[in-house]
Amino acid sequence: MGTYALTGAASGIGASLAALLREQGHEVINVDLRDADINADLASAAGRQAAIAGVRERAPGGLDGLIPLAGVGGGGPPGTLITAVNYFGTVEVVAGLRELVSRKQGAIVLLCSNSAPMSSPEDPLITSLLEGDEVAALKIAAEHDNGMHYMAGKRALAYWMRRNTMAYARDGIRMNAVAPGPVDTPMTRPLYDNPEMAEVMRHLIDNTPLGRAGQPREIARAINFLLGPESSYVCGSVLYVDGGYDAHVRSDHI
């Protein structure tokens, strides 16, 4: 059986994936803010390094998979926190554990979003993210808190994944991403208490062909597929797991 490291495994999609992997007999190393194998705050550089060091200590032989799911939802938290956790908390942990995944020719699956195309590719925040300039990115996020930081960060994360696919594959690592639509998790439920965000959520559901939000287990199964041998020739892809929203709303956008 394999060894997998997850961030954000305390609830939602992460908890479902951790349970699924354990059902299959795998060892799972959880990284989260609290009540995890490794408690670390991925909003800070020190927390990211603590997470990397903790995983290295627990998996000296390498990782069969790395799934950085820790994130902050839009519609409430400040853009600086969203930017620090969702983007830098992902790419720095991935870079820091790359060698461990390479040892076992493993797979990495990132968590993007079907909302990413709602942002503009010309957004200066995306440029600073892809340049790895956290100081500049946080400055932009603080000065232009326009509610688009979540989408921009997810677009940048998809770009980062695709730009690094070749280099990681040369290390024996398949890297892909899933792009869920609305998912029924503890992070999204409070959005329905905010009149403005509740309207947005209703709009998303109304434009989802399957007519409902996804369940964490459904996203976990898609991630599990990308981690396993059944997806051995899938590399550098963003898999939409959104009930058909992207196909309906962006029918001619491929």
Architecture of domain 3-181+216-244: 3-Layer(aba) Sandwich (3.40)
- Angle among Cα 90, 141, 49 to the nearest 5 degrees reads 30
Domain boundaries along the sequence of the chain: 3-181+216-244
Q: Three-state SS for 164? A: coil
231 pLDDT higher than 80: yes
Question: Which residues are known to be catalytic?
Answer: 150
Is the entire prediction scored with pTM above 0.75? yes
Rounded Cα gap, residues 68 and 176, in angstroms? 12
196 pLDDT higher than 80: no
> pLDDT digit string (tens) for 135-174?
999 999 998 766 688 999 999 999 999 999 999 999 999 9
Mean pLDDT (the chain) is: 93
φ and ψ at residue 253, rounded to 5 degrees = -105, 105
